[in-house]
Amino acid sequence: MLSRTLRSGPALTELGFGAAQLGNLYRPTGDAEAREAVDAAWDAGIRYFDTAPHYGLGLSERRLGEALRDRPRDEFVLSTKVGRLLVASGYPEGTMDDGGFAVPATLRREWDLSRDGVRRSVEESLERLGLDRIDIAYLHDPDDHGEQAHAEAIPALIELREEGVVGAVGAGMNQSAMPAEFVDRHDVDVIMLAGRYTLLEQGALDDLMPLAAERGVGIVAAAVYNSGLLSKPRPAADATYDYGPAPAEVMARANAIADVCEEFGLTLPEAAVAFPLRHPAVVSVVVGMRTADQVAGTVARYGAEIPEAFWQALSERRLVRDA
C-alpha cells in the first residue's frame, strides 16, 4: 500500500484504520472480532492506526495496543488523542456509557487541556496501549476550549514532541476553522479533519486546506462517508449526514454524484475514499472498521481504479469543487 510522509518524518499509509469501533461504537464488538479486524488490516498492508481514550472509555486503546504489541514497532504508525482524561465515574454499578459506546460507565470523561492534563493523558494512553511510544498525538475536539487550546494544550503537545515523547502533533476536529488557526499560529505537523473535506463537502478549501498545503502540514481525512451517507452505492432514504438526518439538498447532491458514479461503473463509497487523496495536503484517509470483512471491503474500495474523466465530470457538473 502506498504511503505519504509527514514533514516530521512518519510515513502514513494512504488508508488508515480507524479504531472507534474497537471501543464498541454504538454496539458491542467481541475481543476476537476486534483482533481479527486489526490482523486483516495488517495483512492488507495498512500501517496507520488511529485511536483515542474517548473511544469506549479506553477500550479501543487497550484492544488496539494488544493487537499491535507483537508487531515490529518501526513498521506502523499509531495515533491517539488528548483533551479528555478518564477518571473514576462513581456511577451505580450497571450504568452504561452515554457517549455513544456500548461499555459500562465505570469511568467518565473529564475535559483537561492544561499542560499537566495533556502530559497525563499521553502517559495514561501509553499505559493502556502497552506500547513504547505514540507517533502522533492529536488534541481531540477542543471546539469549546479554543483559548486554552491555543494557550496550553497545543504548546504542551509541541513540548512533548520536542522531548521525543511523541513523534508528531496536531488536532482532530469536525470543523476546519479552528484547525486552520492552529496551523497559522503554531508549529503543528498534522490535522485530522473529520467530514469537512469529502466527496460531498469541500468547505475546508476556504481556510484549512490551502494553508496546510502552504505550511507543509499534513491532513488526515476522516469520516469520508459523512456519517454513512456515502457508504452505500445509493444513499438510503433515511441516510444520516453529520450525525443527523440528511437534509433534502444534501441527499439530492449525493444522488447526483451517485448518478455520475454509475455512468463510469464506479460506486459512491469508492469515490468517497479516493476523493480526499487527490489533494496535495492529504496524507491518509482513515476509515472506521469493525470486522475483517469491513477491512476487506474498504481495501477493495481504496484499490478501485478511477479515471480522471470521472473527476472532470463531477467538476463540470458543479458537484465538487476543484482543489
Per-residue pLDDT of 246-270, as tens digits, reads 999 999 999 999 999 999 999 999 9
* Residue 323 predicted with pLDDT over 90: no
Residue 170 sits in a domain of what CATH number? 3.20.20.100
Q: Domain for residue 264, yes or no?
A: no
- Quickly list DSSP for 275-317: GGGGSTTEEEEEEE--SHHHHHHHHHHHT----HHHHHHHHHT
Q: Domain for residue 232, yes or no?
A: no
- Of 55, 84, 106, 72, which is closest to residue 64 (Cα–Cα)? 55
Positions annotated as catalytic residues are 55
Confidence (pLDDT) at 46: 98
Residue partners of 231: CB distance under 8 A and separation at least 6: 225, 268, 269, 272
Residue partners of 292: CB distance under 8 A and separation at least 6: 33, 36, 37, 39, 40
Q: Domain for residue 84, yes or no?
A: yes
Q: Domain for residue 243, yes or no?
A: no
Judge residue 144's burial from the number of C-beta atoms within 10 Å of its C-beta, 0-12 exposed, 13-18 middle, 19 or more buried.
exposed
* 136 in Cβ contact with 78 (< 8 Å): yes
Phi, psi of 309 (to 5 degrees): -60, -30
Flag the least confident range among 8-17, 19-28, 170-179, 210-219: 8-17
**Cα 304 from Cα 119, distance rounded (Å):** 41
pTM (global) more than 0.85:
yes
Q: Domain for residue 23, yes or no?
A: yes
Q: Dump pLDDT digits (tens) for 40-76.
A: 999 999 999 999 999 999 999 999 999 999 999 999 9
Q: Domain for residue 237, yes or no?
A: no
Q: Domain for residue 240, yes or no?
A: no
**Cα 220 from Cα 238, distance rounded (Å):** 28
Q: Domain for residue 130, yes or no?
A: yes
The domain in which residue 50 lies consists of: 3-227+269-317
What is the total count of domains within the chain? 1
